[in-house]
Amino acid sequence: MIAIEPTFITVAPGVDTLHAALVQRRLAPGRAATLKLQRGLHQLTRPLKLDERDQDTAFEGEYGASISGGILVADWKHVANGTWEADIPAALNTSEIGQRMQLFRGEQRLTLARSAELKYIHAEATNVTFAGEDIRPDYYDFSQVHLVMYESWTASFHRLSSVNASTHTAYLASHYNAMWANQAAGSRYYVQNAREHLDEVGEFYIDVPRRRVMLKLAAGDAPTSGPPMMLAGPSALLQLSGRAGAPLTRVSFAGITFEHTAAESAGVLSGADSQSADHLVTATVHVGAYTAHVTVENCTFRHTGGYAFWAGPGAANCSLTRCNAYDLGAGGVRLGGGHTASSSSTGHAILDSTLSDGGHVWQ
């Protein structure tokens, strides 16, 4: 019997170098393979999709190796009074609201331009009666503004169709289940993604008509003086799934940071009033059907627009060990198919891991 030597592939940091490495790995079918990620940022412009061809593949990161969906924002110019502007990077899909809701400055998550917390007078599934001039009829880029409505167990997004200043009524383009409106959570809401509310230090706004990223900083601070400014591209970095009769098994990840994933646009546009954000369809690392024995060890998940890790229906025997997940758009770990779907997702283990600081997008 001839022993088959495992395949070792060194992956340099850069844009989509992991996609090229996966193509190279598939040139040795039937062999175990290790992809060694060198220190630095391994940027993905689209998710890395693993299937039954990728059995027995290990991804190992050197210290400081990061898989990122980040899009760098550079060449900032000071406009006035602590407001800075830069061109929207060409890589950002401005038609996707989910890619325009988060901006990261190193470890800091900046705040999408928003009003203070407000109280409505009355709310229906289709409209809100507001106090005074809390909601304006003349917002800049009106169609991009939305209300964030606090309900009993969730917070939902609502674009505006129109605002009647005389009757103090805001009509919602995306309706919601108002069963608990007027009695839940103190009738709280706020206005988000409005240029008029770019007025607090640490807030940002993406001006689509002018193709500019806008940022408010304290006096004496500059976006060039600290860590790089990163927007988020894809909503998932790794997606794993096999097929009936051809499962994907034995894939491992060790020593890697996963970061900078966008929120899912569909949920924002639909209102997203489901509990635990179970309307989401992917995660930063998403293990799908006919997939088993995926191990994640000594990894970090941060700066995400959704869940960090999801073993969905049809996944089995996955594990997270000694991992850290924080600054998350939704939750840390999701198992199964949600409260509306039957689940055959079994045998998973979450061990010695810290999951914290979630709900930054999907509250």
Nearest residue to 20 (alpha-carbon basis) of 5, 37, 32, 6: 37
Residue 153 lies in a domain: yes
Residues contacting 143, CB < 8 A, separation 6+: 159, 160
Query: Tens of pLDDT along 228-265?
Result: 999 999 999 999 999 999 999 999 999 999 999 999 99
238 by Cβ neighbours in 10 Å (0-12 / 13-18 / 19+) ranks as buried
Residues contacting 19, CB < 8 A, separation 6+: 44, 46, 48
Amino acid at 361: V
Cα 39–Cα 263–Cα 353 angle in degrees, nearest 5: 55
Same-domain check for residues 272 and 261: yes
Residue 25 lies in a domain: yes
Alpha helices in the chain (DSSP H): 17-25, 265-270
Residue 361 lies in a domain: no
Q: How many domains does the chain have?
A: 3
- pLDDT of res. 5: 58
Residue showing tokens 């006096």: 219
Domain of 62, in residue numbers: 7-69+234-355
Residue 360 lies in a domain: no
Query: Tens of pLDDT along 27-57?
Result: 999 899 999 999 999 999 999 999 999 999 9
Percent of the chain with pLDDT over 90: 85
Residue 345 lies in a domain: yes
Query: The whole model's pTM is what?
Result: 0.95
Mean pLDDT of the chain: 94
Residue 167 lies in a domain: yes
Same-domain check for residues 34 and 180: no
